[in-house]
Amino acid sequence: MDTYDKLFPDYTPPALLKKGGMTVLRERILQSILLMLSTSGILFVLYLYQTFTSRGLNNLGIAVVVYYLLLVIFTFNRSWNPSFRALLVILLPYIIGIIFFMQYGAISELRFFFAVSTILSAVLMDTGGFIGVIALNLITMTGINFAQENGLIFVNSFGYTNLNWGFNFLLYLLFGVGAGGAMRILVGNVEQNLREKERLAQDLENQQSVLEKTIRERTEDVQRRVSQLRTAAEISRAISRITNPDTLLQQVADLIQQRFGLYYVGIFMIEPSHRYAVLQAGTGEAGRIMMEQKHRLLIGGTSMIGWCINNRQPRIALDTGREAVRFNNPLLPNTRSELALPILSREEVLGAMTIQSDQPNAFDQNDIIVLQGIADSLAIAIENSRLFEEMNRSLEEIRTLNRSLVQETWSRVLQEEEITSSEYAIGGTSGEGAQKVNIPITLRDQTLGYLEVELDKNELSEEEATLLEAITTQTALALENARLVRESERRVYQERKLNEMTAQFVRAVDVESILRTAVEQLAQLPSIAEVSVQLVPPESALEASGAYRNNGQEE
């Protein structure tokens, strides 16, 4: 847009568009006033300059020229703050009124021009600026009256008294401020209507955006579901029918090539070092040759497969001749379009599929969605083959838990038992050259102790070693059985004692018998040295309980 076209009020600076419709409207009114003053005021400025200089008022002449230059500058710089630019227009009647009064003592003209500045501020400025201009006018009128009364300035004002000034002061408030206030109310209503319009427009735009987004999402969802239905049945049958991973990969590759009429399909899997992707399935003669050669591609290298695995994203080349990141395979000279899809399982990259066509621009978004769905299904099938390893790890964890349980249980048993070892000498004492052998007593992969044997020779024979191993195994089982029997006997004893106490309580007919029975039964416990039972009134129970806690014993 031409610079001169931007001067017209119809043009709105981009910075003002975000500030609301009322700001734009004020700026357009301001620009109209500035254009009118700049274009039609040049002759008036020349007239004033000549008039003032001919009377020896050179300063006023220069001030008029400076004001006009500022007016032109403010007209061209529409990017400046509108309130700041409006000050120049509002101050014009304010200054003219003061000049008229100082030259001719015309207080009515002063009142008129002050009223004009008030009305302009109501239109061009906000509420704060409007009140500020009113305050400036009132202060100016009061200051002029005070200066004139005290002889600070001399104005030919036709003998205006304080009563005259008060009357004009009241007229300014009545007409100037009243008209400005009415204009301000009108502008406020316009501003409110504009804001409501902008709000409604914004709500409508938001609703339209939501509607468009919903339609787009529904359309994409329908396309995705249609694509999945086209291939889900066959892929599901292949996955459920074939359990061997290598056979599964080759079957999926052949199925994709046949159903989509493709030039070549290959499936790469990441090797354990995570440096290369190795071809595990390929269609046609080219696929067979490459698998025999153990064809592999560097992950993150210059191939589409390497890039796809490294970035975990599909990569498409609709024209292989223009694709920079691509491995040019001499066994596949007719490839014109290629698509590389990652095989992802639970955010882990297992490999990638290369899908190639002998036609340019062979793949569209629908094909990509379908093929990525196949890759995801393939990842699930590959992941299922790993479940056996996870099951073995789970069994190992169970064995570890069993060892921990055995260790914890026997640690408690050894603390309760006083005898934790036994020695037995066979036919005399050991000599100085006797050899000691420690054979572990193991239960569920957890060592309970050691069987120490002193030998009168350097090593055990194979039969002796087998016998000792069998003895330690049977010893561990016998110890565990003894522990279980003891646990069972303890529980039976506890149940029997509880039953006996319950029966005696049932036979007791008075309080004394019940208390005597409780004391007698408690006294039979091994760790109890003395037992006494004391009944107290309810109101003394709290005090007795506190005494028990403080003394640490029961009386």
Which residues, in sequence order, are bridge partners of residue 344? 349
* Burial of 501 per CB tally in 10 Å (0-12, 13-18, 19+): middle
CA neighbor of 235 nearest in space, from 218, 249, 225: 249
The yes-or-no verdict on residue 102 having pLDDT over 60 is: yes
C-alpha of 137 from chain center: 56
Query: Would you say 125 and 29 are in contact if contact means Cβ atoms under 8 Å apart?
Result: no
Query: Would you say 93 and 113 are in contact if contact means Cβ atoms under 8 Å apart?
Result: yes
pLDDT tens, position by position, 400-428: 777 777 777 766 666 666 556 666 555 55
pLDDT band at 173 (very low <50, low <70, confident <90, very high): low
The yes-or-no verdict on residue 552 having pLDDT over 50 is: no
Q: How far apart are alpha carbons 230 and 218 in whole angstroms?
A: 19
Average pLDDT over residues 368-394: 79
Q: Where on the phi/psi map is residue 361: left (φ > 0), alpha (ψ -120 to 50), or beta?
A: left
The yes-or-no verdict on residue 308 having pLDDT over 70 is: yes
CA neighbor of 279 nearest in space, from 293, 291, 271: 291
Domains of the chain with bracketed CATH? 5-204 (no CATH), 243-385 (3.30.450.40), 514-551 (no CATH)
Q: Which position has the higher pLDDT, 498 or 449?
A: 498
> What pLDDT is recorded for position 426?
59
> What pLDDT is recorded for position 554?
39
> What pLDDT is recorded for position 379?
86
Token couple for 370: 């379908």
Query: Would you say 266 and 283 are in contact if contact means Cβ atoms under 8 Å apart?
Result: yes
300: three-class secondary structure by DSSP: coil
pTM, 2 dp: 0.37
> What pLDDT is recorded for position 189?
67
> What pLDDT is recorded for position 553?
44
Average pLDDT over residues 359-376: 81
SS (H, E, C) 196-239: HHHHHHHHHHHHHHHHHHHHHHHHHHHHHHHHHHHHHHHHHHHH
Average pLDDT over residues 242-250: 76
Q: How far apart are alpha carbons 340 and 223 in whole angstroms?
A: 21
